[in-house]
Structure 1
């Protein structure tokens, strides 16, 4: 089965907390990595999301240690939506 990885960024304008994270994180732009797997045995090429990983700290944060958290894409979408409403 083939897979693919996409790297992008997400920006939070306010501090945020996700269930998967160990603590609240400050506003900033964060690296997001999405792994997808090919859906086999269909007549066209399609992929399903296998994992969504958020890299901390924010991109503009100097030094320090980095961590990667596997997160729910649904929870991330809700957090980004809530961030825009704040």
Structure 2
């Protein structure tokens, strides 16, 4: 059976969690690895996704370690959309502050 692997990048705008993993992951760019197998017996070339992984680079005492975490495309979409729904911090509000008056 013929297989192929493709790689793409996804950006998470805020910290996020993945189902099945307890810790939060930092915002940033992550590589997504997708494995597919070729479907046999068709009159055209077609592939079926067999696995999707998110590449996690170790931090702190695990620096230099790379982990491939199995995820679904839905997990990735939910993590990205959750980041879009996080309310802005109060310090990021667009309300204007009045300048302090100079004391004489």
| TM over 0.5, shorter chain | yes
- Structure 1 consecutive aligned stretches of length 4 or more whose deviation exceeds 3 Å: none
* Offset, 1:16: 0.4
Structure 1: distance between partners of 2:22 and 2:4 = 28
Matched, 1:73 2:73: yes
**8 Å CA contact retained: 1:20, 1:70:** no
| Contact 1:20 1:71 survives alignment (8 Å) | no
What is the CA deviation profile of residues 51-73 of structure 1, one whole-angstrom value per residue up to 9, with x for unaligned ones?
11111128xx7980222111112
Q: What CA distance in whole angstroms lies between the structure 2 residues aligned with 1:47 and 1:75?
A: 21
TM-score, L = length of structure 1: 0.81
Q: Give the match for residue 46 of structure 1.
A: 46
The reply to whether residue 23 of structure 1 matches residue 31 of structure 2 is no
3-state SS in 2 of match to 1:77: helix
Between the aligned partners of 1:29 and 1:72, the Cα distance in structure 2 is 17
Q: What per-residue deviation string (whole Å, max 9, x for no partner) do you get for residues 4-45 of structure 1?
A: 100111110100001143411010101111001111222111
Unaligned runs of 5+ in 2: 87-104
Contact preservation (8 Å) 1:21, 1:69: no
Which entry has the higher C-alpha Rg, 1 or 2? 2
How big is the alpha-carbon RMSD for the aligned residues of Structure 1 and Structure 2? 2.1
